[in-house]
Structure 1
Amino acid sequence: MTFEQDINNAVAALRRGGVILYPTDTVWGIGCDATDPTAVRRVFEIKRRADSKALITLVADVADIGRYSAVSPSTVLAIIGRSERPTTVVYPGGCGLAPELLAEDGSVGMRVTGELVSASICRALGKPLVSTSANISGQPATGIYCEISKEIIDAVDYVVEARRDDCSRSMPSRVIKINADGSVITLRP
């Protein structure tokens, strides 16, 4: 299968409301169309995760953040442009996403992915992609494909072929939060 076919298959599953397993710039993730509430609820079910714990989303470009939050892309660039490590930012005023992705205060966690597979899926889908580690809640996050449980693999609708043999490990993303007043705090260094 070619890379393009793999991406097209993943996007077709997402457009049908499906859930996929795919590599990201940090770990392998379980994902779905971040604007589809039914698919988002299914991700919570697969992970056996309390729906009070918000999930993050991936976007391919900084400009996409302005479409789904109340923060301007120039503010985003000023904050994440300095980071060499993948950085998830919790933005105030999440909008246009499944309600299940928003925290109680209306904020949403998003990361601009620099990884080829996840960025390609986001661009082809034209929407943000839910990204949560490919494990049952409470179990260790899986950095490489061969560590993902059969239970997770069997629960999703499509498993991306790309990078299955990649055994390099990445650190989890740094997590920061932009408050409504513009101040920034670090949630995970």
Structure 2
Amino acid sequence: MISLKDDINNALKVLNAGGIILYPTDTIWGIGCDATNEEAVKKVNELKGRIVGKHLIVLLDTENKLASYVREIPDVAYELMDVTDRPLTIVYSGAKNLAGSLISGDGTIGIRVVKHDFCKQLIARFRKPIVSTSANYSGQPSPASFADIDAELIASVDYVVQHGQEEYSEGKSSTIIKLGPSGQFELIRK
């Protein structure tokens, strides 16, 4: 078994080169890339067979980095992150410093601050946000575990993280809440 440090280093090499990784998150296994690299984001969409304009989310390792990618963060965002007991993706207005295709037409972006150890370490070392989308082809069910991921999809990414392959998750995506600049919110996905 590869060490956690080597696994992270291998993933970093691929991310820095504009490649695609398959990795565990605090929800389900995800396909990811550098969220600031337009070409890498395009590769993820092509791999999944996604319709252009369908939203992808971005992962950060700490809430302290939110201000680098969102113009205004309503105070309620921090309160929501503190009280939630499951992974929470918040859709913010005023996205910035990300690949243009990640930002929706109304200027919003979905961001989740991860609690998963591997993700936190990877993103902290990468020093940029990472795209996260479920490790499946568009329209197919999300995998509950690594064993549920299509072999062809696994073979299509540039690096497959070794850490966590034997773990099982409930296969649940994050809760998604859309926050307006003044703090009003709308539940998108429970």
Q: Is contact 1:65–1:71 with CA below 8 Å preserved after alignment?
A: no
- Give me the whole-angstrom Cα distance separating, in 1, the residues matched to 2:189 and 2:63: 21
- Give me the whole-angstrom Cα distance separating, in 1, the residues matched to 2:75 and 2:123: 21
Q: CA RMSD in A?
A: 1.2
Residue in 2 aligned with 1:51?
52
- Give me the whole-angstrom Cα distance separating, in 1, the residues matched to 2:82 and 2:181: 20
- Give me the whole-angstrom Cα distance separating, in 2, the residues matched to 1:152 and 1:45: 12
- Give me the whole-angstrom Cα distance separating, in 2, the residues matched to 1:71 and 1:172: 25
Give me the TM-score of the superposition, normalised by structure 2: 0.96
Divergent runs of 4+, >3 A: 72-75
Q: Secondary structure in 1 aligned to 2:83?
A: coil
Aligned-residue offset at 1:180? 2.9
Q: Is contact 1:65–1:73 with CA below 8 Å preserved after alignment?
A: no
Verify: 1:98 aligned to 2:99, yes or no. yes
Verify: 1:144 aligned to 2:145, yes or no. yes
- Give me the whole-angstrom Cα distance separating, in 2, the residues matched to 1:156 and 1:180: 37
- Give me the whole-angstrom Cα distance separating, in 2, the residues matched to 1:16 and 1:73: 34
Aligned-residue offset at 1:73? 7.6
Aligned length: 189
- Give me the whole-angstrom Cα distance separating, in 2, the residues matched to 1:121 and 1:42: 20
Aligned-residue offset at 1:55? 0.3
Residue in 2 aligned with 1:183?
184
Which blocks of at least 5 consecutive residues in structure 1 are unaligned?
none
The change in CA–CA distance for 1:170 and 1:71 in structure 2 (over 3 A counts) is farther
Give me the TM-score of the superposition, normalised by structure 1: 0.96
Q: Is contact 2:58–2:112 with CA below 8 Å preserved after alignment?
A: yes
Which blocks of at least 5 consecutive residues in structure 2 are unaligned?
none
Verify: 1:10 aligned to 2:11, yes or no. yes
Verify: 1:89 aligned to 2:90, yes or no. yes
Question: Which runs of structure 2 are paired with 1:110-149 in the superposition (5 Å)?
Answer: 110-149=111-150
- Give me the whole-angstrom Cα distance separating, in 1, the residues matched to 2:124 and 2:156: 25
